[in-house]
């Protein structure tokens, strides 16, 4: 692998010692862990990125969640690893992440900026159950009163609830859970290594009940498979019922590395949609702006209807009854619906 020859380079990501373990227990069947000692752990986001934060911490590379659409697949190619099944099963573990983070936070040059986690690969993927890096990471951030946020699909975050409460008492923290849809058949094929959507919503419910505000990143909204008006309504309603403080929709985007893997999946599971996707994503990684705006508008309208937003402490969340009448959503024939322009949705991942 590429890091084998980087030990003597000033720009090396890892040291020369790499321990690779293939685990054959049922929980980790077929997964290989590459245990490395990182040279740095607080990473600056490239200036050209769309991400609304400047610094990240990523204790893992590769992800056993195996989300077909994951944009981070391309990063595995930087290590000469496969962006398909290799991304799902070849997991790089930065075993020194907690101690390294504590040292970097104490450095003279660090100014206590916000640190985002889970924006590349999930820091609460299954590997975290084996290596337990996040408690030490949260403790370091807590001890330095350093603001941070976590985005996850993993239920394992509940293990660290006491630490999150301690951190929230001394600094600003933000937790977001990713739930793009409720359809179990879609979930089983497109996010096969993740907890089910309803279990993720249980995470939102539990965190909120214990005083940790939690939002939902409704991502990805998948064209033609998860974007029907009744699907959006059901998802937003469930998010509201779970007690989420906010919902942010993100339409599927297909960057190189993920695009090829996703299109192969589409050919296998939904071949009738291949041509429609080829047309929709003909101009690049992102769906047309008119489509993004339409989804954003629909979700925001539903969020308002279901009462997601700032509430006063102790104020009950009141949900209107289900509306059997679908909300008009325009068509899928490639023509932009006629409505006033709205800001394009945020892109966080």
Q: Considering just the CA atoms, what is the radius of gyration of the chain in Å?
A: 20
Q: pLDDT of 82-101, one tens digit each?
A: 888 899 999 999 999 999 99
Where does residue 10 rank: exposed (0-12), middle (13-18), buried (19+ CB within 10 A)? exposed
* pLDDT value of position 341: 37
Closest alpha carbon to 218 in 227, 230, 210: 227
- pTM of the predicted model, to two decimals? 0.84
Spell out the residues 6+ positions from residue 145 whose beta carbon is closer than 8 angstroms to its own: 112, 170, 171
Q: Is the pLDDT of residue 149 over 70?
A: yes
Q: Is the pLDDT of residue 253 over 60?
A: yes
* pLDDT value of position 317: 37
Helix (H, G, I), strand (E, B) or coil at 214: strand
Q: pLDDT of 328-340, one tens digit each?
A: 333 444 444 443 3
Give percent of the chain above pLDDT 90.
Answer: 71
Q: Is the pLDDT of residue 8 over 70?
A: no
Under a CB-based contact definition with an 8 Å cutoff, are residues 257 and 73 in contact?
yes
DSSP-derived pairing of the beta strands 90-94 and 42-44: unpaired
Distance (Å, whole) CA 253 – CA 263: 12
DSSP-derived pairing of the beta strands 55-57 and 42-44: antiparallel
Give the pLDDT band (50/70/90) at residue 21: low
Distance (Å, whole) CA 296 – CA 300: 6
Domains observed in the chain: 97-306 (3.80.30.30)
Distance (Å, whole) CA 274 – CA 254: 13
Q: Is the pLDDT of residue 144 over 80?
A: yes
* pLDDT value of position 80: 82
Distance (Å, whole) CA 152 – CA 211: 18
Q: To the nearest whole number, what is the mean pLDDT of the chain?
A: 85
* pLDDT value of position 331: 41
* pLDDT value of position 313: 36
DSSP code string of 53-86: -SEEE-SEES-TT--TT-TTHHHHGGGT--SSHH
Closest alpha carbon to 303 in 233, 229, 223: 233
Under a CB-based contact definition with an 8 Å cutoff, are residues 64 and 91 in contact?
yes
Where does residue 57 rank: exposed (0-12), middle (13-18), buried (19+ CB within 10 A)? buried
* pLDDT value of position 77: 83
Distance (Å, whole) CA 165 – CA 207: 9
* pLDDT value of position 278: 97
Cα dist from 65 to 125, 190, 235, 322, whole Å: 6, 10, 21, 32
Q: Is the pLDDT of residue 230 over 50?
A: yes
Give the pLDDT band (50/70/90) at residue 252: very high
* pLDDT value of position 28: 85
* pLDDT value of position 15: 53
């Amino acid at each position: 692998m590429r890091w084998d020859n980087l030990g003597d380079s000033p720009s090396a990501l890892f040291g020369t010692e790499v321990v690779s373990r293939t685990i054959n227990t049922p929980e980790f069947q077929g997964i290989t862990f590459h245990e490395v000692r990182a040279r740095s752990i607080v990473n600056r986001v490239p200036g050209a990125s769309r991400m609304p934060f400047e610094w990240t911490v990523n204790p893992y590379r590769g992800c056993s969640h195996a989300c077909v659409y994951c944009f981070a697949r391309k990063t595995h190619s930087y290590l000469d690893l496969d962006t398909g099944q290799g991304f799902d099963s070849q997991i790089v573990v930065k075993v020194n992440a907690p101690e390294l983070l504590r040292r970097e936070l104490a450095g003279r040059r660090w100014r206590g900026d916000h640190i985002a986690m889970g924006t590349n690969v999930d820091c609460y993927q299954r590997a975290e159950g084996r290596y337990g890096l996040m408690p030490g990471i949260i403790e370091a951030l807590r001890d330095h009163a350093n603001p941070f946020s976590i985005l996850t699909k993993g239920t394992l975050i509940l293990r660290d609830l006491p630490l999150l409460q301690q951190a929230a008492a001394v600094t600003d923290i933000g937790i977001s859970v990713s739930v793009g849809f409720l359809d179990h058949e879609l979930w089983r094929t497109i996010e096969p290594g993740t907890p089910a959507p309803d279990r993720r919503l249980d995470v939102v419910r539990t965190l909120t009940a214990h005083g940790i505000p939690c939002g939902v990143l409704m991502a990805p909204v998948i064209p033609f498979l998860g974007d029907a008006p009744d699907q959006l309504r059901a998802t937003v309603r469930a998010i509201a019922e779970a007690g989420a403080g906010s919902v942010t929709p993100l339409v599927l985007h297909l960057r190189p590395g993920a695009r090829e893997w996703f299109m192969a999946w589409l050919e296998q599971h939904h071949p009738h949609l291949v041509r429609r996707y080829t047309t929709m994503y003909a101009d690049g990684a992102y769906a047309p702006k008119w489509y993004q705006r339409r989804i954003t508008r629909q979700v925001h309208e539903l969020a308002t209807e279901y009462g997601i937003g700032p509430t006063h402490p102790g104020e009950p969340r009141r949900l209107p009854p289900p509306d059997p009448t679908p909300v008009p959503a325009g068509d899928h024939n490639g023509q932009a619906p006629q409505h006033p322009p709205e800001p394009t949705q945020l892109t966080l991942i």
